Amino acid sequence: MTKEEKRELVKGILFTSPWLVGFSIFVIYPILASFYYSFCNYSVLQPPRFIGLLNYKDLFTDPIFWKSLWNTGYFVIFMIPLGLVTSLSLAMLLNTKVRGMAFYRMIFFIPSLVPMVAGSILWMWIFNGEYGLFNNFLMRVGIPHPPNWLMDIRFAKPAIIIMSLWGLGNMIVIYLAGLQDVPVSLIEAADLDGANWFDKLWNITIPMISPVIYFNVIMAIIGSFQIFSQAYIMTGGGPQRSTTFYALYLYQTAFEDFRMGYASAMAWILFVIILILTLLITRVSKEKIYYGG
């Protein structure tokens, strides 16, 4: 190593030193510790005691674990496609160069800024079975007996999905930015060739924004698997655990039952699921993503 290289190394480490310290204490250490705890019986009050794979074994026979996994899967399976279609369609509508685009964009974006607690309380009121705005609307359009959304095991999850669709604003903004980068020349060339609306969408727009779609879908998956606050606030996981999502059950295990080792094992399973899904999507979409020159 030359003197010059050594100087650069010292400078580099000096500049990044706060992060190296913070990263070690608040990220690396917790990750390693959590991995160790997942093989331990740990309640914070007493030091962790190694128990091997027992937590993982217990999880496989824990009905609430499976229930929470199913609830989360349900949410993800509906939320990802619905979110993609809703936000992309709205972004495309915005991209038609209509007048007042900035205004519409603002309206769509603002809900995503609303603090989760305030948003959840607001939607509890909207979904209220007796006086809620939502059911009032449904009755007015001819559904005489709308469900009591958050109190009904069949409708509590859909209610949370509807609420989540409302907060998609940042995705809309990202898609819109992507759409605005699609070269007009390509669309015009397709117009000359007599391509119809769908051809243009399928063969030009979607491929051109595929990196943005990929990014948004990955972010949505990571986010959706960790859905917590809405359920914690609006339903507490009920009725009959129908909204006990994975992260909620994990929180309850860790901080209400103080089974921290068990919770850590759950956290690692969650991480592995997210990791596998991300890798899978990356693999599948690899040839389909177009990184423009």
Site for another protein in 176-235 (CB under 8 A): 176-178, 181, 211-212, 215-216, 222, 225-226, 228-229, 232-233
The CA distance from 136 to 131, in Å, is 7
Give the DSSP H/E element, type plus range, for residue 17. helix 3-23
Q: Kindly identify the residues of this chain, within the stretch 96-115, that bind another protein according to CB under 8 A.
A: 96, 98-99, 104-111, 113-115
To the nearest whole angstrom, how small is the minimum distance from the Cβ of residue 88 to another protein? 12
The CA distance from 290 to 161, in Å, is 30
The CA distance from 66 to 120, in Å, is 25
Q: Kindly identify the residues of this chain, within the stretch 118-177, that bind another protein according to CB under 8 A.
A: 118, 121-126, 130-131, 133, 136, 166, 170, 173-177
Distance of CA 61 to the CA centre of its chain: 27
Q: Kindly identify the residues of this chain, within the stretch 23-82, that bind another protein according to CB under 8 A.
A: 23, 25-27, 29-31, 33-34, 37, 42, 44
Closest CA to 50 of 31, 60, 37, 32: 37
DSSP tag of 99: T
277 binds another protein (CB under 8 A): no
90 binds another protein (CB under 8 A): yes
Closest CA to 224 of 116, 68, 76, 71: 76
275 binds another protein (CB under 8 A): yes
To the nearest whole angstrom, how small is the minimum distance from the Cβ of residue 65 to another protein? 13
| Binding span for another protein by CB under 8 A among 9-17, 51-59, 74-82, 147-155 | 9-17
Locus of tokens 């117009």? 191
Three-class secondary structure of residue 153 per DSSP: coil
To the nearest whole angstrom, how small is the minimum distance from the Cβ of residue 275 to another protein? 7
| Binding span for another protein by CB under 8 A among 76-84, 200-208, 237-245, 256-264 | 256-264
